[in-house]
Structures are given as structure tokens and as C-alpha cells.
Amino acid sequence: MMDKEKIKKAVLTAESCSDYSDDYEEELCDDENISCLNCRYRRWIKGGFECVKGKYSDE
């Protein structure tokens, strides 16, 4: 489970990211519409996630 600060950063990052794109509906995991957590370029890794566009990592 991610802490609130990481979730907030994921929202702020996605809101200013020109590459954000909704993931498949079954992959959405945050109530915020725009968040790295809901982006098709987010990949889960041990301890968090990373962006395969290379723009964000919560590690």
C-alpha cells in the first residue's frame, strides 16, 4: 500500500504529464481520474511502481 504523499505525488505528476493515458478500466486503482496510478505507462515493481516513459518512480 502506498502512503498518502506518494499518492499525492502521482496525481500531481500525472496532471502535468503530456504522456498520461488512461489504462484499461480493470487496471484503474485510484479514485483520482488523473494519476500515474491509472496510467497505461505505470508498471508495478517491488515496493511501488515506475513509469516506463521514464518520468517517475516512487522508489
Interface residue list for ligand SF4 (CB under 6 A) = 13-14, 17, 19-20, 36, 39, 41-42, 51, 53, 55-56
Dihedral of alpha carbons 36, 57, 19, 41, sign: negative
Cβ proximity to ligand SF4, 4 vs 16, nearer residue: 16
The residues near 14 (Cβ < 8 Å, ≥ 6 apart) are 20, 34, 35, 36, 38, 39
- Tell me how far, at minimum, the Cβ of 18 lies from ligand SF4, in Å: 8
- Tell me how far, at minimum, the Cβ of 1 lies from ligand SF4, in Å: 18
